[in-house]
A and B are shown apart, each in its own frame.
Chain A
Amino acid sequence: DAGITQSPRHKVTETGTPVTLRCHQTENHRYMYWYRQDPGHGLRLIHYSYGVKDTDKGEVSDGYSVSRSKTEDFLLTLESATSSQTSVYFCAISESQGAKNIQYFGAGTRLSVL
């Protein structure tokens, strides 16, 4: 257990509304990531963070923003949700294990945009 908590676990919202997903970690990991999972695509990186207030875009960042005001929390915001953002969202941290860095994932958030 890498101490990652995602909230909410499930959310239904309407097109055009703002949505914020939270990822909380308890082990002071520097790197945090947001991925989305869609059928036929595997997981795709949305945004990542390499420290407090340090973030960068991933492969599918359009329509998403992130914030990291403290080490333990990484927030993903959909400013105006669209149906194409219906997906399962996973947060991850990178844990150093000697010479290798392993990403561990939270339980996921299932988001439906109607």
Chain B
Amino acid sequence: AQKITQTQPGMFVQEKEAVTLDCTYDTSDQSYGLFWYKQPSSGEMIFLIYQGSYDEQNATEGRYSLNFQKARKSANLVISASQLGDSAMYFCAMRGGSYNTDKLIFGTGTRLQVFP
């Protein structure tokens, strides 16, 4: 069975520092995708970054990067130069099952708090 594990219920980081949010996954598929979403206190789900299992380079989107270690089955999110607006829940997700259906399996999330 496919599974996403986020072991950090909460994290604190000082403004302007970098922070890493952990995500490990389990799948027997050779082709899969890994996603990170941000959920601020307002409740919406915001797509941040995507990594395909065959992508040779780690994905980057502005201040977000995904540290993809395939052998270790980890897909950690790195946020550089944290800002107060980064305070939110962060969810790791994996595209599971058939590629054609794009169904996502989510982790339980990490709450990040950025302090001045």
Contact = CB atoms under 8 A, between A and B. Distances in A.
Interface of A: 31, 33, 35, 40-45, 48, 50, 56, 58, 88, 90, 92, 94, 99-105, 107-108
B104 A100 contact: no
B6 to A, nearest CB: 8
The 4 closest A-B pairs by CB, nearest first: A42-B106, A105-B45, A43-B106, A94-B102
Nearest to A58: B103
B107 A42 contact: yes
B102 A101 contact: yes
B51 to A, nearest CB: 9
Contacts of B91: 42-43
A84 B43 CA distance: 20
Contacts of A103: 35, 47, 102, 104
Main secondary structure of the interface of A (DSSP, over half): strand
B44 A102 contact: no
Contacts of A102: 35, 47, 50
Contact of B45 (A48, A56, A90, A94): A90
Contact of A100 (B43, B52, B103): B52
Contact of B103 (A45, A90, A107): A45
Interface residues of B, number: 23
Given A43-B45, A100-B52, 4 more contacts: A43-B106, A45-B105, A88-B43, A100-B50
Interface centre among B37, B100, B103 (most CB of A within 10 A): B103
Contacts of A104: 47
B36 to A, nearest CB: 11
A27 to B, nearest CB: 15
A94 B103 CA distance: 9
Interface in B72-116: 91, 93, 95, 100-109
Given A103-B35, A108-B43, A108-B44, A50 B101 contact: yes
Nearest to B109: A42
Interface centre among B33, B45, B100 (most CB of A within 10 A): B45
Contacts of A48: 101, 103
